Chain A
Amino acid sequence: MTSAPLVGLRAAALEIRPRRRDRETLLLLAAAVALLVGWISLSTTEAGRLAVGDPAPLLAYLAALGLCHLAFVVTGRRTDQVLLPVVGLLGGISLLFMNRLPQDLVQQQVGPLELTLGPLQLLWLLLSLAVLTVLAIVVRNDSWLRSYKYSWAVAGVLLLLLVFALGEEVNGARLSLRLGPLAGQPSELLKIILVVFLAGYLAEYRPLLAGMSLRLGVLRLPPLPYLLPMLAMWGVALAVVVVQRDLGAALLFFGVFLALLYLATQRASFVALGVALAVVGAVLLYLLQAHVRTRFQIWVDPFATAQGSGYQVVQALYAFGRGGILGTGLGAGLPAVSGGVPVPAVHTDFVFTGLAEELGTTGALAILGLYLVLAERGLRIAAGAADDFRALLAAGLTLVIVLQAAIISAGNLKLIPLTGVTLPFVSYGGSSLLASGICVGLLLALSDAGVEAPPPPGRPGPAERFRRRLAGGRERLGRAVA
């Protein structure tokens, strides 16, 4: 038996042949022009006269985008040509905004260098683009994701437990994990692991889940054993809220889970049950957790505690109001108030608010539109996927980004209680940028329908294969010893 990855690598080595990507070229050029105009606008506002400032960061970023594009062209894979320009534009907007904000919002020692907000974000953006490009080019085979879904699940749970045990508390939420010099937010990685596991699990049990039912009066519920994953997922989400105090991640996890479950089974009763569980969970949390109650009360009337817990939300609403339809212009938003930015966390949780102040409703709608384009491409990739696993994986990766953007924007706009997640590709932060880069990199790889076909259905499951491999190994070992 020849192992599948080997075939993939050999095929890749043979097939490398440059292929033009005209659409991507044009879209990237348009994005570059938009970002250059934005940079000039920002520098002009800051200098008070026509100026370009020091365009080095933007030029470096645009060069990196160009390199990604070039790598795609040279390696000649037939991947989607819209995703890179969309991500490039979002990242570029982020770069502009992080350079516009007070630089001392973030300071970090990187080797011998003391870096501030703008350069750090540039660094993370470049890393994210690199990860995206490598994944998009190299991944031709999904068995490493498909076959080990339970291993991934175990890894995810371990990661979660690690955070529970060792997590550092920042702003009342236990989000970051520090291992030596490296610090990151594991929930960013966790969401990808979750999608991989769900895609594998649902692809395998989809026919069972969709067809079977347990009749309870008028309700048609899934059979009890298959309810367990839903309950487990619910438990994980609750644990994330209780232990990590991370409402945003919990909402995202559960939302992606429900969406994929619905996609796989297309049974409204599952969603209804899931929503019911979510409501029960929300009520429980409200009753038991003081920080959940506070969040909810802020949401109902932030102005009641405008000088206390509602300060951030109220300041965000003011910022939206100052922006109006057309915005104040990049760099022309309200300057620092008594030493700090007017809206706390404007570089992370409230970046959407900050951009909406300076770019107005018009600019904010354009940003939301970019996520919708991303959604359209991602769901299209899912629709064209070769089999259920790839379709569910593509849909899940897309939803992770699109839903996360919707959750934080809705929180900024006070449409839902505020939950702290990042705006993908725009908020400051390495973990978030890398995770988003992984998502889009995998999506790009999945979009190439010309690569290796998925394994035929009905082949032995991973446990069985593992056992066989073990047995084979033992045999070989025995022979070698002999």
Chain B
Amino acid sequence: MSGPRVGSAPPLPRGLLRLAIVVIAAYSALALGLGYWQGIRAQALTEDPGNPIVAAVRDAPRGRILDARGTVLAQSVTRGGVQVRSYPQPLAAPVVGYWSPTLGAAGLERTYDAQLSGFVGITPVDRLLRKFRPDPTAAQDVVTSLDVRLQADAARLLGGRRGAIVAIEPSTGRVLAMVSSPSYDPNKLVDPATGAAYLASLSAGDASASPLLNRATQGRYTPGSVFKIVTAIAGLGSGKITPATTFPDQPAEEKTGFVVQGYTVVDGHHDFTGHTALDLTEATAVSCNIYYAHAGLAIGAADLRAWARQLGFEASIPFDLPVAPSQVTAGTGPLNGFVDEVELANAAYGQGTTFVTPLQMALVAATVADGGLLMRPTLVDALRASADGSLIEQRQPQVWRTVLPASEATAVRQAMQAAVESPWGKPFAGSAKIPGVPTAGKTGTAQLGGSGEPHAWFIGFAPANAPRIAVAVLLEQGGHGGQVAAPIGGQLMGDWLKLAP
């Protein structure tokens, strides 16, 4: 301890300067705080259910949700002095969702809550313009790309069985129909008298029924052979296989099985292909597991996943509804995520740890149909002012990904057409054939292990030479894809071609 030492005091101005710097720093922090709450978090705060503005907006009528032809899917009606939502087309529930002051919102009602309620806090410019309008809120109508007639047709074809159907216009990405079954009646849900009890009844009982789940976007299923289209796209795109590629060992292995690291890949249905070494088209037509296992190994883990990612796998697809990401592999193994070559070979024909949403598979079909271009999927065509119907925003089709050159897309298209129409293909996917219309497709029968029925899949598009609709059909544990899913897909596509000639 040193003794006290007297010195001279430091000059004050130096200290004042430092103090000024501290003051400026503190006020900069305040400015950042303002920017955080009023810029970054402003939208979320304003839409938070606890915000009194939400309650104020709740008492104002919301905009309508319409299908592409103007049919009302959702609207506000006054019942007992209170605004209640009404859903004249309950079978659109998986897309439209519901909106209730007490139970919250789902579907488009949720995604477009700001526009429907008219409380759009989107851009500062919008807010500035609003200052010059007398009404603080201006509800908007959401015009969807759905066609209620096709939606009803799809629901009828599913017939209440567990499953999902997605129909897309390949050239635009517009979703024409999206059905998930079993579903629910949004009218009962939003009725203040019955809502809570109805919601409880939907959540109770058999959990696997999940009527509130939109299987088309949120359900993830083993794809089985419909995934072979992804493998074909990866093979052609990466150049690892061509339409003429054959695997010389394949005919012999039809009898013995194809042994990959001790695991045997088998086919059960090659009595009539004999000793022919199948090319891409033929292998797709007869859904040859052994051919696609070889193809998968030739393509390799990295390229298979890379091309799947191009198609939308492994990430949330940008869409008007939340979409669960599809996966090629659980992604924990050393071989680019695959555990070993067995898993890679299995994944190449849609088994293994591959899980996909019906929307994802519809996009795969649409990509082939649209000459290798993947259009960004949309459910909304336009936003209009509720008051006078004036156009606020018109959505334009957007190319999301350029997946394949047209020539290679054509090769896949021919393979898918052969699967429906060629003599070898007919026994598998022939039931999807639309009379008088060139039809392309691929079935899938996804084995789940154990004794349960397989998932039945179909993806396809029509007319094959100038596609106007692409579909994915899934029936949960529905049985054989060719027997159950393919007829539904063909019927639906044929009906659409008649509805929208």
Contact = CB atoms under 8 A, between A and B. Distances in A.
A279 interface: no
Contacts of A265: 9-10
A365 interface: yes
Contacts of B83: none
B6 to A, nearest CB: 5
A212 B4 contact: yes
Nearest to B43: A321
B50 A306 contact: yes
Contact of B128 (A208, A266, A326): A326
Given A48-B134, A215-B2, A379-B20, A315 B52 contact: yes
Contacts of A208: 6
Contacts of B391: none
B16 A395 contact: yes
Contacts, number: 169
B244 interface: no
B54 to A, nearest CB: 9
A326 B127 contact: yes
A321 B51 contact: yes
A372 B10 contact: no
B48 A263 contact: no
B127 A318 contact: no
B50 A324 contact: no
A325 interface: yes
B7 A368 contact: no
Interface stretch (B30-38, B72-80, B404-412, B472-480): B30-38
A251 interface: no
Given A321-B51, A322-B53, A379 B19 contact: yes
A434 to B, nearest CB: 24
Interface residues of B, number: 51
B16 A318 contact: no
Interface stretch (A166-174, A408-416, A471-479): A408-416
B16 to A, nearest CB: 5
A171 to B, nearest CB: 21
Interface residues of A, number: 63
A348 B37 CA distance: 21
A138 interface: no
Interface stretch (A179-187, A329-337, A461-469): A329-337
A211 B23 contact: no
Contacts of A323: 38, 42
B26 interface: yes
A67 B42 CA distance: 42
B7 A391 contact: no
B24 A317 contact: no
A324 B127 contact: yes
Contacts of A328: 131
Contact of A364 (B5, B12, B34): B34
A410 B33 contact: yes
A413 B36 CA distance: 9
B65 to A, nearest CB: 26
A116 interface: no
Contacts of A409: 30
Interface string B48-62: 101111011000000
Contact of B1 (A216, A322, A379): A216
Contacts of B13: 383
B38 A321 contact: yes
A259 B19 contact: yes
A251 B283 CA distance: 79
Interface string B360-384: 0000000000000000000000000
A320 B53 contact: no
Contact of A372 (B22, B23, B50, B51): B23
B52 A212 contact: no
Given A216-B1, A379-B19, A266 B10 contact: yes
Interface string A396-421: 00010010001001100111000000
A334 B56 contact: yes
Interface of B: 1-2, 4-10, 12-16, 18-20, 22-24, 26-27, 29-31, 33-35, 37-39, 41-46, 48, 50-53, 55-56, 121, 124, 127-128, 131, 134, 136
21 contacts: A207-B6, A210-B10, A211-B6, A212-B7, A213-B5, A214-B1, A216-B1, A263-B16, A264-B12, A318-B45, A318-B50, A318-B53, A321-B37, A321-B42, A323-B38, A325-B39, A361-B38, A368-B30, A379-B19, A383-B12, A413-B34
The 5 A-B pairs with the shortest beta carbon distances in the complex, nearest first, are: A321-B45, A211-B7, A413-B33, A320-B37, A263-B15
